[in-house]
């Protein structure tokens, strides 16, 4: 659980709904505006087993405004891809027919963006907002220890360039009583913006920041932020065309209802019919935190993530290289990193198959499911002449009962012991903490009984010291646990 990126469609929906509702920190430049009408966000998901055409057909029913005569649209993938404009993943000013065609050509296809390859499955289609280049601004809010920075530049758009260097910045201190005045905001952020839009923009920034606080964003970038003046150039309307955001997942208990209601059918102007009758805990679906582009969760990773979400303990799994021959089953958020470091330092980074950790006193059964998942993945990787390596590692636990968690690990080993032998798997164990003596004794006994190639060490061995011993054949004076 941490701050995580959200879909552009979700970010926009939250912004659209709460922009007029989140309490502003200080009195803004303009009186409270009327609530926004539901945003026009056609969020299209193309599952593997459904024809893209039928997704688009269904979209026309869900979002009737797509069929409005003469309407022009923007289409783009919504998968946390940065700089879509530069990668040709942005279709502007298209009719629905053209937009459909553009999406069809890409949906379900792999695409390489910079160094990462991923499959395009999630698209966003929105009405196109005609505007001039000079009306494109850029705004960014991000959180640091000392407070939240608001960055603003009047030269937004695809070619915004080095924002850090050119944007105007203002620090909003953590104590919101020190929130800057409207004049300060205008003077600091908007010196290069025509005076007549100051009121509108300051009000927008005030409200944007209010949502940022109220919905516990940790990052929010709008580029371009389009400010279209009215005919007599006395005021302007603000449109957020492209948005990237991170939201603090741990704040779910405070903000879950706010995230949900903004994305509920009522707020999005959708008919509630055909929602499948599923009852959500809030007035809308729970906020999703998609995996980074090109790193869609595998079935196993999703399974562990679901397991993790159901417990106070921590269970994490990231498959780095499914064909790798070095697998880790390590306890502890810090120790797991030390293991990965040691494997990389030994020159086996390419062969490291997974990163993961279990900690916070998971139960025997949870540990079993976790271990079983990792070992299954290990066995699925192609057999190697040189065999495979499994590190069952961990630091010196503070309060996790090692014997109990190891019972779960042993159960998993027991179930697939012959296959582990077939794959010539060398198992290296190092662990300590409450009741580790029993845990190590049991795993050693089980390993011997199951004829596994297993080496077991206690706290006399350094936490990841077994890594160089295992991978590079480094010498060690430390004896196996239980040996005199």
Residues of the shown chain interacting with another protein in the complex, contacts defined by CB under 8 A: 1-3, 115-116, 143, 145, 173-175, 213, 216, 218, 248, 250-251, 253-254, 292, 294-295, 314, 316, 318, 320, 331-338, 340-345, 349-350, 352, 355, 357, 359-360, 363-365, 394-399, 401, 403, 432-435, 437-438, 459, 462-465, 467-468
Phi (first) and psi of residue 36, to 5 degrees: -65, 150
Q: CB of 216: closest distance to another protein in angstroms?
A: 5
- Residue with Cβ nearer another protein (290 or 294): 294
Considering beta carbons, is residue 162 or 232 the nearer one to another protein? Answer: 162
Residue (285 or 360) nearer to another protein, CB:
360
Q: Between 127 and 333, name the residue whose CB sits nearer to another protein.
A: 333
Q: Are 220 and 148 in contact (CB under 8 A)?
A: no
Q: Give the nearest distance from C-beta 60 to another protein in angstroms.
A: 35
3-state secondary structure of 411: helix
CB within 8 A of 165, min separation 6: which ones?
Answer: none
Q: Which is nearer to another protein, 186 or 432 (CB)?
A: 432
Closest contact distance (angstroms) between CB of 139 and another protein is 19
Phi, psi of 59 (to 5 degrees): -60, -35
- The CA radius of gyration of the chain, in Å to the nearest whole number, is 27
Dihedral sign for Cα 474, 476, 481, 484, please: positive
Could you give the CA distance from residue 47 to residue 260 in angstroms, rounded to a whole number? 23
The residue whose two tokens read 């390596």 is 389
Distance, in Å, from the CA atom of 396 to the CA atom of 304, rounded to the nearest integer, reads 24
- Which string of b and e fits 452-473 if b means at least 16 CB within 10 Å? bebbbbbbebbbbbbbbbbbee
Residue 37: half-sphere exposure toward Cβ, Cα within 13 Å: 1
Nearer to another protein, 403 or 413 (CB): 403
Shortest CB 479 distance to another protein, Å: 15
Task: Tell me which residue has tokens 């059918």.
Answer: 265
Closer by beta carbon to another protein, 36 or else 318: 318
Shortest reach from residue 396's CB to another protein, in Å:
4
Beta carbon of residue 153, minimum distance to another protein (angstroms, whole number): 20
In the bound complex, what is the minimum distance in angstroms from residue 343's beta carbon to another protein?
Answer: 7
């Amino acid at each position: 659980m941490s701050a995580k990126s959200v879909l552009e469609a979700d970010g926009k929906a939250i912004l659209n709904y709460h922009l007029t509702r989140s309490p502003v920190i200080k009195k803004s430049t303009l009186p409270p505006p009327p609530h926004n009408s539901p945003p026009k966000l056609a969020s299209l998901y193309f599952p593997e087993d459904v024809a893209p055409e039928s997704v688009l057909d269904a979209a026309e029913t869900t979002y009737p405004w797509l069929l409005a005569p003469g309407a022009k649209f923007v289409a783009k993938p919504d998968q946390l891809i940065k700089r879509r404009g530069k990668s040709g993943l942005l279709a502007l000013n298209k009719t629905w027919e053209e937009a459909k065609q553009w999406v069809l050509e890409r949906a379900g296809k792999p695409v390489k963006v910079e160094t990462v390859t991923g499959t395009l499955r999630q698209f966003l289609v929105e009405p196109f907002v005609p505007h001039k280049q000079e009306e494109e601004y850029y705004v960014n809010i991000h959180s640091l220890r000392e407070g939240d920075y608001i960055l603003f530049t009047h030269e937004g758009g695809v070619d915004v360039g080095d924002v850090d260097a050119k944007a105007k910045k203002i620090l909003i201190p953590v104590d919101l009583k020190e929130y800057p005045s409207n004049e300060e905001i205008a003077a600091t952020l908007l010196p290069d913006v025509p005076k007549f839009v100051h009121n509108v923009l300051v009000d927008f920034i005030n409200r944007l920041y209010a949502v940022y606080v109220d919905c516990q964003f940790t990052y929010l970038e709008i580029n371009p932020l389009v400010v279209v003046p009215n005919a007599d150039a006395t005021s302007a309307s603000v449109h957020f065309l492209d948005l990237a955001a991170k939201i603090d997942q741990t704040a779910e208990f405070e903000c879950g209802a706010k995230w949900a209601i903004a994305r509920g059918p009522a707020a999005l102007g959708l008919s509630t019919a055909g929602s499948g009758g599923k009852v959500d805990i809030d007035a809308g679906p729970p906020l999703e935190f998609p995996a980074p582009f090109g790193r869609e969760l595998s079935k196993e990773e999703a399974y562990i993530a679901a397991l993790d979400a159901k417990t106070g303990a921590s269970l994490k799994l990231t498959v780095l290289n499914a064909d790798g021959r070095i697998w880790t089953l390590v306890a502890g958020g810090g120790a797991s990193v030390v293991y990965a470091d040691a494997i990389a330092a030994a020159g086996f980074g390419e062969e490291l198959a997974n990163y993961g950790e279990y900690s916070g006193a998971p139960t025997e059964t949870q540990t079993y499911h976790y271990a079983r998942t990792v070992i299954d993945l290990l066995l699925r990787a192609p057999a190697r002449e040189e065999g495979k390596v499994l590190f069952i590692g961990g630091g010196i636990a503070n309060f996790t009962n090692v014997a109990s968690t190891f019972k779960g690990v042993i159960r998993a080993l027991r179930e697939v012991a012959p296959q582990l032998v077939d794959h010539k798997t060398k198992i290296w164990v190092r662990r300590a903490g409450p009741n580790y003596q029993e845990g190590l004794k049991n795993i050693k006994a089980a390993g011997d009984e199951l004829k596994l190639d297993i080496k077991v060490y206690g706290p006399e061995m350094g936490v990841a010291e077994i890594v160089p011993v295992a991978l590079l054949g480094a010498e060690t004076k430390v004896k196996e646990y239980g040996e005199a």
